[in-house]
Structure 1
Amino acid sequence: MEHQLPPLNALRAFEATARHLSVKNAADELCVTPGAVSQLVKTLELHLGVQLFRRVNRGVFLTDAGQAYLPPVRHAFRQISDATQKVAVPAETGLLTVSTTPFFASAWLVPRLKSFQDAHPDIDLQLLTSHALADFARDGVDVAIRHGMGHYPGLASQRVLTVEMVAVASPALVAQLGMPGQPADLLRWPRVNDAQRKGWRAWFEAQGVQDAGPVRGPSFDDAGLLLKAVLAGQGAALLPAAMMAPEIAEGRLVALCGASWIEDFAYHLVCPQSSSQRPKVAAFRDWLLEAVRKKPVSSGRRKTASPTVEGPAPVPPRRAGLRRAASRTP
């Protein structure tokens, strides 16, 4: 007799908990309570008659049975996603769901979206913002824009925008301290940092300042908060030049030293390979690349030579989610 399939919600709870190795993070992702996730996992364990997780203090770890069960479960979810996309009519009209980080959405994407709507009035754009990983199968996302190195297993990835980082400060702080004449002058300024606290050291190195000293000042895991701290006069910061151009042009920010640094990381357009040629996705990709081409050519110093736009980079299929490397602060 065929073995009865386990409940789908229990499988989702198992896969999310195994991916995060955290009941709490799985609960946040699934929009349920940690208790509900634990109960679903317990239901699955009772159904299978094996223990899938070892619970140590507050952490969870996969047992041998859990490690063996996880790959086919993920593969099954991927197959369901691929089958759904093949059955669905790839119409050029309808809803297009785009996932991106809050800062990229507010500082670069949203101000330009009218031109997309004008060019494609039959496509209704739904914009989702999050720093969390995007799972295309589970979240109903058509395409994502993420900040990273562009290596996302199982996904088609295309570089769309390199990130030129420019030192900026509020006009009030510049009036107080004076305009720096050279990059080394900023060593004496108060500075605010990204969450990894590595940006300023790399920026000083790119400007030929070798001894930047210890990293001081507050740090923020969201570029929007970093911008608010700069506007409040708390210090100078490194922020993406293309996204700060309106703030600089309107006098709310001052670009310092005229020196910039282009990160190794870049913004990439990411989607499952099976949907990369769907008309709606292709329309958004073509519009995005054209919008990027309209920006002024950067004159910043590159740490490594890399083109602004590169072709799709297919990689071996795995699961349809963005790996954690895909999610940098901007």
Structure 2
Amino acid sequence: MNPRRLTPSMSVLIAFEASARHGSFTKAAEELALTQSAVSRQVQALEAQLEVALFSRVGRHIELTAAGALYHHELAAALARIRNATLQTIAHKAGDGPLHLAVLPTFGSKWLLPRMNDFYRRHPGVLVHMHSRIAPAEQDKDQMHAFISVGTGHWPGHVAHRLLSETLVVVASPGALPGYASLTPADISQQALLSVVSRPHAWADWFEQNGLQHRAMRMGPGFELTAHLIQAAVAGIGIGLVPRILVQDEIASGELVALFEPVDSGRGYYLTYATRYQQLPALQAFTQWLLSVEFPDS
């Protein structure tokens, strides 16, 4: 197939997208500062190039065909990415573009956000837009500049800065677990074990490290967010196995107690970003600040 047929001109694509969004050639023309007939001709040219009817026309009224609706869905997202890339490029030239950061939700709310005031004090001209992500999605590759994730540090094509090692600790509400100080690892099998869906094997690994049988586990409720698991543990619903850095406040306040010694998960918290973004001024400022932060004993 002729490649030109697969790459219509930007002018006809914009005319089609505006017409589809408004459901009107007239309103699309007003938005694009063109005449109604000019927009209509551009859409007709696109239909002729594709050899597909994109609109059904009844008098002055237009409606997307099934093919047109599918095309508009894909095209609108593509045009949005192009516009976003253009804005980022313009902002990069000006040196004041915002940073789009994807961050683990609980880490973001419990650790990073309370410290962001220090970042803004040091870099008052830089904006960081934070997006909660349990795991990066495919579309994030084009929309996010950087990620704070947990892993082993191996992300091909990315720069990875290790922030701290991850240790996991068993926590429980002292009020809901009398005699917690004398518990042994074997006693844990009598308790409801709280878990997060992103760590399906965490308890199994802990039991194995302590020489316990997996069949002895008594699994309790599961949660999507670690923050919700922590709240459930504070409420006495069960006991949790969580990153120590995320429960230090609750342990310090006495809402939770740590049972046994923390264990190394073999993973770490990392700031990562694609190499194509490493010259962004906002990312450079944020990276320099984050790497200067003194992380507590995890």
State the TM bucket, normalised to the shorter chain: 0.5 to 0.7
How far apart are the structure 1 equivalents of 2:97 and 2:84?
19
How far apart are the structure 2 equivalents of 1:108 and 1:205?
30
Asked if residue 110 in structure 1 is aligned to residue 113 in structure 2, the reply is yes
Q: Which residue of 2 aligns with 1:191?
A: 193
Q: By how many angstroms is 1:179 displaced?
A: 2.5
How far apart are the structure 2 equivalents of 1:183 and 1:284?
41
How far apart are the structure 2 equivalents of 1:128 and 1:173?
35
Q: Equivalent residues in 2 for 1:71-86 (5 A)?
A: none
Asked if residue 265 in structure 1 is aligned to residue 249 in structure 2, the reply is no
Q: Which residue of 2 aligns with 1:236?
A: 239
How far apart are the structure 1 equivalents of 2:118 and 2:106?
20
Q: By how many angstroms is 1:130 displaced?
A: 2.9
- State which drifts further: 232-241 or 120-129: 120-129
Q: Which of 279, 282, 285 in structure 1 is aligned with 2:284?
A: 282
Structure holding more helix per residue: 2
Count of aligned pairs between the two proteins: 237
Letter of the 2:213 partner, please give it: D
How far apart are the structure 2 equivalents of 1:275 and 1:194?
32
Q: Which residue of 2 aligns with 1:255?
A: 258
Q: Which has the higher contact order (CA 8 A, sep 6+)?
A: 1
- CA offset digits 1:256-312 (Å, max 9, x no partner): 12x111213332212221111322212211221222x4413x5xxxxxxxxxxxxxx
* Structure 2: runs of 5+ lacking an equivalent: 17-45, 53-79
Q: Equivalent residues in 2 for 1:159-170 (5 A)?
A: 159-170=162-173
Asked if residue 146 in structure 1 is aligned to residue 136 in structure 2, the reply is no
Q: How well do the aligned residues superpose, as a CA RMSD in angstroms?
A: 3.7
- Which structure's CA Rg is the greater one? 2
Shift of the 183–147 alpha-carbon distance from structure 1 to 2, 3 Å rule, reads same
* Structure 1: runs of 5+ lacking an equivalent: 11-42, 50-76, 299-330
How far apart are the structure 2 equivalents of 1:122 and 1:290?
19
Shift of the 86–117 alpha-carbon distance from structure 1 to 2, 3 Å rule, reads closer
Q: By how many angstroms is 1:191 displaced?
A: 1.6
Letter of the 1:269 partner, please give it: L
How far apart are the structure 1 equivalents of 2:123 and 2:255?
33
Under a length normalisation based on structure 1, what TM-score does the superposition of the two structures give? 0.60
How far apart are the structure 2 equivalents of 1:158 and 1:79?
29
How far apart are the structure 1 equivalents of 2:135 and 2:180?
40
Shift of the 119–194 alpha-carbon distance from structure 1 to 2, 3 Å rule, reads same
Q: By how many angstroms is 1:127 displaced?
A: 1.6
Q: Equivalent residues in 2 for 1:191-230 (5 A)?
A: 191-195=193-197, 196-206=199-209, 208-215=210-217, 216-230=219-233
Contact 1:191–1:234 (Cα < 8 Å) also in 2: no
How far apart are the structure 2 equivalents of 1:239 and 1:264?
14
Contact 2:92–2:281 (Cα < 8 Å) also in 1: no
How far apart are the structure 2 equivalents of 1:48 and 1:192?
57
